[in-house]
Amino acid sequence: MVTRAGAGAAVAATAVVALLSAALALYGPPLDSVLERTFSLRKVHSVKDMENTLQLVRNIIPPLSSTTHKGQDGRIGVVGGCQEYTGAPYFAAISALKVGADLSHVFCASAAAPVIKAYSPELIVHPVLDSPNAVHEVEKWLPRLHALVVGPGLGRDDALLRNVQGILEASKARDIPVVIDADGLWLVAQQPALIQGYQKAVLTPNHMEFSRLYDAVLRGPVDSDDRHGSVLRLSRALGNVTVVQKGERDILSNGQQVLVCSQEGSSRRCGGQGDLLSGSLGVLVHWALLAGPEKTNGSSPLLVAAFGACSLTRQCNHQAFQKHGRSTTTSDMIAEVGAAFSKLFET
Ligand SMILES: NC(=O)C1=CN([C@@H]2O[C@H](COP(=O)(O)OP(=O)(O)OC[C@H]3O[C@@H](n4cnc5c(N)ncnc54)[C@H](OP(=O)(O)O)[C@@H]3O)[C@@H](O)[C@H]2O)[C@@H](O)CC1
Ligand SMILES: Nc1ncnc2c1ncn2[C@@H]1O[C@H](COP(=O)(O)OP(=O)(O)OP(=O)(O)O)[C@@H](O)[C@H]1O
Ligand SMILES: [Mg+2]
């Protein structure tokens, strides 16, 4: 039997829960409680957590179908590539195609374009990034693109970075998802306001890029003993932008939740692996936003997409290393994308 006092207490408890939920929705749970919830059971749950999250990635992958037309599974743009760096934008753009995008564009400086075109007939290469009309030239394509990957091989030339700033602003105005990597993160460290609070941005810093960003945004050094807390804090300070800190284990957060990806890779650290990750993520972000939170069981679609890209990159590394050992290069990893994707996501 429910007494009046009992019913009153239940109503009061419901009100408290509702108030707390409203507060959480507005400000996010206290940092300590997120970390405690996420990590207190980490040792016993890590393998199960990884498997559960991989299942969410499987849920966002569009089935191959005879009724879809070219372009529906993803039209991705990579913004990067300059005189010095032509490999990085190529790795990102070809990885997007290999993961399952239908069309992959590269918007690069004019000196890089013939080189990138010569690597691959699969890519659509626009030599526009150092033109005085760069923003307009890229903006023309934005209505046809599902996601942008900004930064691989961009370099740090001021004129190029100013153009990329304009491209980012135009992409935000159109609500286009952006993955920001490499020198795109250099730009964000100079001007965090560029992506502050943009819910469709994912940042993929390596060790160095993370420290630079953290210092710029939080005005202090990273606590290297607390990687999880650092990623959570940076995401929150940027207004819940999704942050993926790459490393021995990848730490991912949207300021509400923290995920850890420890998919087995290898000890081979050749350059370009991060470009494979950011290009793959471009496609997965598009798929995840299309699928929506019903398919990700309430988890953030962008976090699920990022977990998918991290797992895939590490699995490619693992498979390539088994064949090539110390001579493994990123091209060997890209050759493994199909088999790694099947192993992780098509079981
Ligand atoms: N084939 C191509 O075209 C490729 C081109 N690429 C392009 O190059 C551009 C610059 O990108 P980036 O990553 O080299 O730049 P940046 O942030 O200055 O870091 C460099 C310094 O960080 C450090 N460091 C790194 N990891 C660390 C760790 N775990 N722990 C500790 N330190 C660590 C390390 O310092 P060091 O060991 O030298 O002291 C290193 O010197 C960018 O456009 C990118 O896309 C690449 O994509 C590769 C393939
Ligand atoms: N110590 C490590 N052990 C295992 N995997 C790692 C380690 N460090 C990085 N990785 C993996 O390598 C991939 C690329 O991360 P990395 O930190 O090398 O990026 P990056 O420096 O941006 O690469 P790039 O050379 O493309 O710029 C990620 O999938 C990450 O999980
Ligand atoms: Mg990189």
Does pLDDT of 51 surpass 70? Answer: yes
Band the pLDDT of 10: cuts 50, 70, 90: very low
ipTM comes to 0.96
Q: What is the pLDDT of residues 226-254, one digit of tens each?
A: 999 999 999 999 999 999 999 999 999 99
Query: How many Å apart are CA 168 and CA 180, to the nearest integer?
Result: 10
What pLDDT is stored for residue 171 in this prediction?
98
Query: How many Å apart are CA 147 and CA 159, to the nearest integer?
Result: 23
Q: What is the pLDDT of residues 287-342, one digit of tens each?
A: 999 999 999 999 999 999 999 999 999 999 999 999 999 999 999 999 999 999 99
**Among 153, 146, 142, 81, residue whose Cα is nearest residue 114:** 81
Please choose from 85, 161, 183, 209 the residue to mutate so as to test ligand 1's pocket, defined by most ligand atoms within 8 A of CB.
85
Does pLDDT of 5 surpass 60? Answer: no
Instruction: Tell me which of 174 and 35 has the higher pLDDT.
Output: 174
**Among 297, 278, 300, residue whose Cα is nearest residue 289:** 300
Does pLDDT of 44 surpass 60? Answer: no
Assess whether the C-beta atom of 302 lies below 6 angstroms from ligand 1: no
Does pLDDT of 110 surpass 90? Answer: yes
Does pLDDT of 12 surpass 90? Answer: no
What pLDDT is stored for residue 40 in this prediction?
38
Assess whether the C-beta atom of 250 lies below 6 angstroms from ligand 1: no
Q: Which chain residues have CB less than 5 Å from ligand 3, an ion? A: 182, 274
Band the pLDDT of 17: cuts 50, 70, 90: very low
What is the percent of the chain where pLDDT is above 70? 87
- Nearest residue CA, atom 17 of ligand 2? 206
CA 293 from chain centre, in angstroms, equals: 17
What pLDDT is stored for residue 26 in this prediction?
45
CA 186 from chain centre, in angstroms, equals: 16
What pLDDT is stored for residue 207 in this prediction?
97
On whether the CB atoms of residues 45 and 115 are closer than 8 A, the answer is no
**For residue 70, what are its two tokens?**
């070219």
Please choose from 269, 307, 330 the residue to mutate so as to test ligand 2's pocket, defined by most ligand atoms within 8 A of CB.
269
**Centroid of ligand 1 to alpha carbon of 208 (angstroms):** 8
Please choose from 183, 245, 273, 280 the residue to mutate so as to test ligand 2's pocket, defined by most ligand atoms within 8 A of CB.
273
Distance between first and last Cα of the chain = 50
What pLDDT is stored for residue 13 in this prediction?
39
Q: What is the pLDDT of residues 255-286, one digit of tens each?
A: 999 999 999 999 999 999 999 999 999 999 99
Q: Give the 3-state secondary structure of residue 32.
A: helix
Assess whether the C-beta atom of 248 lies below 6 angstroms from ligand 1: no
